[in-house]
Amino acid sequence: MGHHHTHDHDHPHSHENVEPSDATDAGVPDEELSPSALSRRNLLRSAGLLGTGAAASTVLTAPSTASADTRSSSSGERRAGYLWLAGDHHIHTQYSSDAMYRVIDQVRHGNAYGLDWMVITDHGGATHARIGVDKVNPDIRAARDEVRDTLVFQGLEWNIPGAEHATVFVHPGRHEVGVLKQFENDYDGSVKNASDNTPANEALAIAGLTFLKKQVDKGRVDDALFLANHPARRGVDSPHEIRAWRDAAPGIAIGFEGAPGHQAAGIPEPNGGGGGRGFYEGSPSANSFPGYPLESYRTWGGFDWMTSTVGGLWDSLLAEGKSWSISANSDCHVVWADTAERGPDSNFDLNGRYNDPVHNGTILTSAGDFWPGFYSRTNVGASRQSYAAVMSGMRAGRIWVDHGHLIDGIDVQVRRAGHGPSGATIGGVLRVKRGAAVELVVTVDLAQQPNWAQFVPRLARVDVVRGDVTGKASDRDTFSAPTARVASSFEVPAGAAKRFSFKLSLGKIEKSGYVRLRGTDGKRTATGLNGAAVDAHGPALDVVGDADPWNDLWFYTNPVWVVVD
C-alpha cells in the first residue's frame, strides 16, 4: 500500500536548499505562496512587473474562490484542482527524551504507509535546545535524500509557555536549524521554566509566535507554522490563549490537533495498555482552565473534545469568521506491538539522543502509538508536491483528516445553485449576494482496500454541520457556538461500492456562515454534549481501558465558507 509517485524535487540536489521562489510563477495563486514569496510578488507588482491581485488575509475579506486548477500532475488525480497529500506533523525520534526511533525509521515507515509529507518534532527542553536541534538535522537531510517521495520537515514540539504542546516547523533552508534553535532557547516553556498558567508566561508564548513571524517576514526562513497539540488533554489551553495565538500570528498559528496521537493507548489489556485513547486519561490541575467540563479530558471517537463537540470550542472559533484548522497525527514515540527498545548504554543527557534501537524480542503491548500513516492521516490540498505547497495548503485550511483509512478521498463543493460545477472547496470561500441560492455537492470515494488492521473500512453516514459567522467573540473565553448544529445526515446505502454522492440545498443565504463535514463507520455513536437537537448521533465518549481504535472510525473536514457581500 506504499506510494510511488514522483514529486517536483526528483533531481540530484540536497533538500536542505531553499526551493526556488514561486513569486514569479503566474500559475501559483497568491494564497499558495509563503509570506516571504508573497512579499516578493507584491514588490514586483508594485514595480509594474506582475499583474495585480491580493492575497486573502481573513475569511471574510478573501476573494471569491477561483475556478479549479486543472493542471495535470504525474502524481495522480486532482480533486478541486489540488493534490491531496497525506501527512503527519507530530513525530518523535531518538532525539526526544521519551522516544527511541531513528529519523530514517520513522520516514521509511511513514513512506510505506502512504505519507507524502512528515514533520519531525522532537520535544523541546534543555538538552534538545542545547544539542538536539543541531544533531537531528543531518539525519533529516539524509532521510530527504534517501526517501525522495516523502517530504520531511524539521520542527520541534514546543512547550508553549503557560499552556500545552505545539508543533512548530519551518520550510527547509540554510537557517532552519538556527531559527528553531533560537526559538527553542528563547521561548520554550520548559527551557525558560515558564510552564505555569500565568499572564507573563502567556505573553512569552505570544512573543514566541511573533518571533516566528518576524523570521518569515525577514526571509530568514521561507515559512513557519504552528499547530497546538492535544489541546484538551490537560485543560491548560484556555479559550482566550488559543484566540491570542491565532490573532497574534494568523499566518503562523493555524490550528490544533482535531485528533491526538497515541490512538492505540486505549486497546484493552492484555493486548494493549488499557489506558485512555490518545493518553487522554487525566483530570483538572491547578493550571487547568476552570470552565472546562470533566468530559473534555477524554477523547470522543478518538477526537479531542474541542473538535468533537458540535457547537463547542472549534465552532466558536469558526463563528468568528477566522480560519482555524484541525489535524490528525501519530505523535509516534514507541509503537504498539513493536519489538524494539532503546540502544544499550544510552546517555540522553550527555549525547542529546538515545543510541540506535535494537530488537529485543518482546512485543510492546503496553505502548500506545502507531507508526506514522498507519492509522491517522492529515490530508492537505496542495497545488503540487513541494514543501511550500504543503505549508500553503495547510494555511489555506484545505485539510481533511481520518482514522483507519476510513475513506479514500472526498470532493466537497459549495456553489451557487444552477451555476455549474465551479464552487468553493474545503478551506475556500464562496462569496454570494444576500438571498442567493447555494448548494453543497459531496462525493466520497469509499475505501477499496484493507487498512493496516486488514479490513476494508465501511463508511456508514456523513453529517453536514452548519454554523453562522457571528463575529468577534465578546468573551474571549467562550467555547460555545449556539448556531452550530448537524443540519443534515446522509446514510451510505449498503450497496454503495466505490463512491457515495449527495447534493444538499443550503437554501437562500441571508448571513455568512460555514459548512463542514463529518463521517463515521457508525459503530459507536451517542447524543452530543449539546443535545440531540444539535447532534443526535455524534461520537461517543471513549472508555478508559476499553477503546479499540479500529472499531470506531471517523473523518472530519475543515469548513467551506459562504460569505454574504
The crossing angle, in degrees rounded to 10, of helices 133-146 and 176-187 is 140
Counting Cα atoms < 13 Å in the Cβ hemisphere of 43 gives: 7
pLDDT per residue of the chain (565 residues) written in tens, 0 to 9: 444 444 433 333 333 333 444 555 444 555 556 666 666 666 655 544 443 333 344 676 665 544 333 333 334 568 888 999 999 999 999 999 999 999 999 999 999 999 999 999 999 999 999 999 999 999 999 999 999 999 999 999 999 999 999 999 999 999 999 999 999 999 999 999 999 999 999 999 999 999 999 999 999 999 999 999 999 999 999 999 999 999 999 999 999 999 999 999 999 999 999 999 999 999 999 999 999 999 999 999 999 999 999 999 999 999 999 999 999 999 999 999 999 999 999 999 999 999 999 999 999 999 999 999 999 999 999 999 999 999 999 999 999 999 999 999 999 999 999 877 779 999 999 999 999 999 999 999 999 999 999 999 999 999 999 999 999 999 999 999 999 999 999 999 998 999 999 999 999 999 999 999 999 999 999 999 999 999 999 999 999 999 999 999 999 999 999 999 8
Residue type, 183: F
State the Cα torsion 405-278-354-341 to the nearest 10°. Answer: -70
Q: How far apart are CA 136 and CA 156, in angstroms?
A: 11
CA dist., res. 215 & res. 213, Å (int): 5
Q: Which residue has the cell 540506535?
A: 356
Instruction: Indicate the DSSP class of residue 353.
Output: S
**What's residue 429's pLDDT?**
97
The SS3 assignment for 165 reads strand
387 Cβ neighbours under 8 A, 6+ residues apart: 19, 117, 151, 153, 171, 172, 223
pLDDT of residue 81: 87
329 burial (CB, 10 Å; 0-12 / 13-18 / 19+) is buried
Please state, in angstroms and rounded to a whole number, the distance separating the CA atoms of residues 372 and 380: 16
d(CA 264, CA 480): 30
- Helix ranges (H only) for 64-115 are 103-112
User: What is the phi/psi pair of residue 246, to 5°?
Assistant: -60, -45
- Rounded CA gap, 213 and 34, in Å? 11
Rounded Cα gap, residues 398 and 381, in angstroms = 5
Distance CA 421, CA 403 (A): 29
Q: How many CB atoms lie within 10 A of CB 74?
A: 10
Q: And the C-alpha cell for 541?
A: 465518549
Could you give the CA distance from residue 473 to residue 319 in angstroms, rounded to a whole number?
8
Chain-centroid distance, C-alpha 485: 23
pLDDT of res. 312? 98
Among the listed residues 186, 112, 542, the one whose alpha carbon sits nearest the alpha carbon of residue 370:
112
CB atoms within 10 A of CB 477: 15
Percentages helix, strand, coil for the chain, rounded to the nearest 5?
A: 20, 25, 55
Identify the CA nearest to 145 among candidates 100, 104, 91.
104
In the structure grid, which three cell numbers stand for residue 551, read together? 472499531
Query: What CA–CA distance (Å, rounded) separates 118 from 124?
Result: 18
Give the whole-angstrom CA distance, residue 158 versus residue 228.
Answer: 9
- Which of 193, 194, 225 is CA-nearest to residue 209? 225
Which regions of 72-221 does DSSP assign to beta strands (E)? 83-91, 117-123, 151-159, 165-170
CA-nearest of 76, 106, 71 to 89 is 106
Q: In the Cβ-directed half-sphere of 503, how many Cα atoms lie within 13 Å? A: 9
- For the chain, helix (H) and strand (E) counts, in that order, are 11, 22
- How far is Cα 384 from Cα 82, in angstroms, rounded to an integer? 7
∠ at Cα 46 (41, 49), nearest 5°?
Answer: 70
Is 31 in a helix, a strand, or coil?
Answer: helix
Tell me the pTM: 0.90
* Strand pairing report for 165-170 and 461-468: unpaired
Among left, alpha and beta (phi > 0; psi -120 to 50; other), residue 420 is: left
